[in-house]
Structure 1
């Protein structure tokens, strides 16, 4: 502003209510005072750029403050739309195809071709299963074959994570012997 006789502090004291007026008029909830801060910055910018020959200062302040708040509302709406769109796409991916659900998560069910490559040596897995209890086999199936976390297995089976870990310890103990090492499945492509 060209006139140094009136400071911004004085202008602010006289016009602070304009910020509150526009917040109220636009039905903005402002618990963190973000819109108030934006209005304050808008008032400062208007004070700096005001040209007395263009019209009254009050009208200019109203115009700048209101439009800055509307811009901020539009920006927030666009961000919210982006988040909503992302969530919808993620939900579509999670619910599309062959999935089974556990603990609010979806896990891909392997199709026959993928299952065949994962369980390439069916005899090996049948032999491993014959050495294990039902819970130990669940640990092998879910943790090793399907790559589920201990936490997810526990939630799916309705037991504690410690119980699932103990199943894994027993599996390792049982299969640690020399017989278990000799029965490893062949490596893919080998």
Structure 2
């Protein structure tokens, strides 16, 4: 069945809806991720819309809002998982006493970099320091997600090993 309006026309008439819902949900969107998700939701709503079930505007509002909420939930869950992982790994990382100061941080990073291979350092820098997802690192480095995970696994082993060696020296 052909649609009376093209998506481009519908988009021009309704693009403010996406901004409205981002604002209404009080979302920060510096990288336009929520806007993109809202645009995808609008496209899906446009494709699935059935005029017999109600006004298009209502369907757009419902679909966009719920897609944005789903993305927010996913990001929140990912953030919690990442924090839980970091909390679980904290005891395995070398303990500095007293805590590392801002001025000592470059030296600590140099030490970590000297322990790791080039690929392991890429994982550490992008995943740990910048918080990039594995998929983005893989795309940036033109490799597979599995390869990036392997770099991380090997790097964590080296960092754990360092911690245990220091413990043995203290005892």
Secondary structure, in 3 states, of the residue corresponding to 1:6? coil
Please state how far the C-alpha of 1:109 moved relative to its aligned partner: 2.0
C-alpha change, 1:59 and 1:100, in structure 2 (3 Å) is closer
Partner of 2:20: 21
Determine if contact 1:23/1:35 at 8 Å carries over to the other structure. Answer: yes
Normalising by structure 2, what TM-score? 0.57
Determine if contact 1:19/1:36 at 8 Å carries over to the other structure. Answer: yes
| 1:79-98 deviation per Cα after TM superposition (whole angstroms, max 9, x unaligned) | 10011001111113347xxx
After TM superposition, the structure 1 = structure 2 runs for residues 18-167 of structure 1, keeping only pairs within 5 Å, are: 18-94=17-93, 101=97, 104=100, 107=163, 108-110=166-168
Please state how far the C-alpha of 1:29 moved relative to its aligned partner: 0.7
Please state how far the C-alpha of 1:3 moved relative to its aligned partner: 3.9
Distance 1:71 1:6 in 2: 28
C-alpha change, 1:102 and 1:68, in structure 2 (3 Å) is same
C-alpha change, 1:101 and 1:57, in structure 2 (3 Å) is same
C-alpha change, 1:40 and 1:111, in structure 2 (3 Å) is same
Determine if contact 1:100/1:109 at 8 Å carries over to the other structure. Answer: no
Distance 2:98 2:33 in 1: 40
Q: Which has the higher contact order (CA 8 A, sep 6+)?
A: 2
Number of paired residues? 109
Any unmatched runs of 5+ in structure 1?
A: 116-190
Partner of 1:160: none
Please state how far the C-alpha of 1:60 moved relative to its aligned partner: 0.4
Higher strand share: 1
Please state how far the C-alpha of 1:110 moved relative to its aligned partner: 1.3
Normalising by structure 1, what TM-score? 0.51
Secondary structure, in 3 states, of the residue corresponding to 1:5? coil
Any unmatched runs of 5+ in structure 2?
A: 101-107, 109-161
Higher helix share: 2
| Higher Rg of the two aligned structures | 1
C-alpha change, 1:48 and 1:100, in structure 2 (3 Å) is closer
